[in-house]
Amino acid sequence: MVRVLTILAYLVCTLGFSQNEQLFDEATALYNQGEYTKAADNYLKILSNGEHSAELYFNLGNTYYKLNKIAPSIYYYEKALLLKPNDQDVKNNLAYAQNMTLDAIEPLPQTTISKMYNRLTAYLSFDQWAYVAVGFMMLFVCCYIAFYYFTFSSQKRIAFISSFIFLLMTVLAAILAYLQFSKFESEQPAIVFSEEVGIKSEPNNRSQAIFNLHAGTKVNVLEELNDWKKIEIADGTTGWIPSEDIKILKDF
C-alpha cells in the first residue's frame, strides 16, 4: 500500500511539473509574439500551481513592464531578487521599472563600512551562503583526512594550512548566512499598488495625511493594526497605510 501511494505521489508530481513546464513554454512563446496579457495569465497559472522561481518572477516582471503596469512589474522583479539577490539582469530591469515611478525618495546616507557590509551580505541569499558553508566544510574534512594519510611533511603542511583556511571560510560563510537570515526575517518589504495613496499619521481615516505615495514605491512594513500597516520608506519617514493598498513581497 505504501509503495502504491509513493508511486501515485511521484506520478502526480511528475504530471504537475510537466504541466508547469508546458505553461512556461507557452507563456514564453506568447511573450515573444507580443501577447503579453495571455503570457501573464499563463505565468500566473504556474504560480497558482505552487511553483516559485526567480526565472518565473523575472518573466512576470518583464511581461507587466511591457503592459506598462509598473507596480506589478517592480513587485515581481523584487520577488526574483529575493531568490537571486545578485542577478544582474533582474537588477537592470528593476532599475528601468523604478525610473517609471513618481516618487523620488532619497535613501538614508550610509558609511563606507556599512555599504561594504550590505554589499557582502546581500551578494548571496541566506540559503546560498549556507550551501557555501557546507561546501567549505566538505573541503575542510577532505584536507583534514588527507593530512593523516600524506607521508611527506610538505604535503602534510599544505593539507593542514588548506584545512585551516577552509575551516575559516566555513565559519565566515555560516556567519554571513546567519546575518542575512536575520535581516531577511526582520524586514517585511512591500510594494504600493494604488495609483496614489495618502500616508496617515495614525491608523484611521480621520487622521491627517502626512505625505503621498504612488504605485511602484517600495516600503518596509513595521507593524500591523486591524486593516492598517505602519510603513517606513527609504528616507526613514514612517506612517500608516491601508493594508489593501500594498502587497507584501515575502508571501511565498
The residues pairing with 223 across neighbouring beta strands, listed in sequence order, are: 230
Q: Are residues 134 and 195 in the same domain?
A: no
Q: pLDDT tens-digit profile of 179-200?
A: 999 988 889 999 999 999 999 9
The residues pairing with 211 across neighbouring beta strands, listed in sequence order, are: 199
pLDDT of 14 over the 50 cut: no
Q: Are residues 210 and 147 in the same domain?
A: no
- Domain coverage including residue 32: 2-98
Q: Are residues 88 and 116 in the same domain?
A: no
Q: Are residues 14 and 86 in the same domain?
A: yes
Q: Kindly indicate the confidence band of residue 151, based on its pLDDT and cuts at 50, 70 and 90.
A: confident
pTM of the model as a whole: 0.81
Mean pLDDT of the chain: 89
CATH number at residue 62: 1.25.40.10
Q: pLDDT tens-digit profile of 46-98?
A: 999 888 899 999 999 999 999 999 999 999 999 999 989 889 999 999 999 99
Q: Kindly indicate the confidence band of residue 11, based on its pLDDT and cuts at 50, 70 and 90.
A: very low
Q: pLDDT tens-digit profile of 195-211?
A: 999 999 999 999 999 99
Q: Are residues 62 and 89 in the same domain?
A: yes
The three grid cell numbers given for residue 35, joined into one nine-digit string: 501577447
Domain-embedded: residue 106? no
Q: pLDDT tens-digit profile of 28-46?
A: 999 999 999 999 999 999 9
Tell the burial category of 147 from Cβ atoms under 10 Å away from its Cβ (0-12, 13-18, 19+). middle
Looking at residue 6, what is its pLDDT? 43
Provide the 10 A C-beta neighbour count for residue 248.
13
Domain-embedded: residue 184? no
Contacts by 221-230, CB closer than 8 A, 24 or more apart? 221/188, 221/189, 221/190, 221/246, 221/248, 222/188, 228/200, 228/203, 228/204, 229/190, 230/203
| Sheet architecture: strand order including 189-192 | 209-214, 196-200, 238-242, 228-232, 218-225, 189-192, 246-248
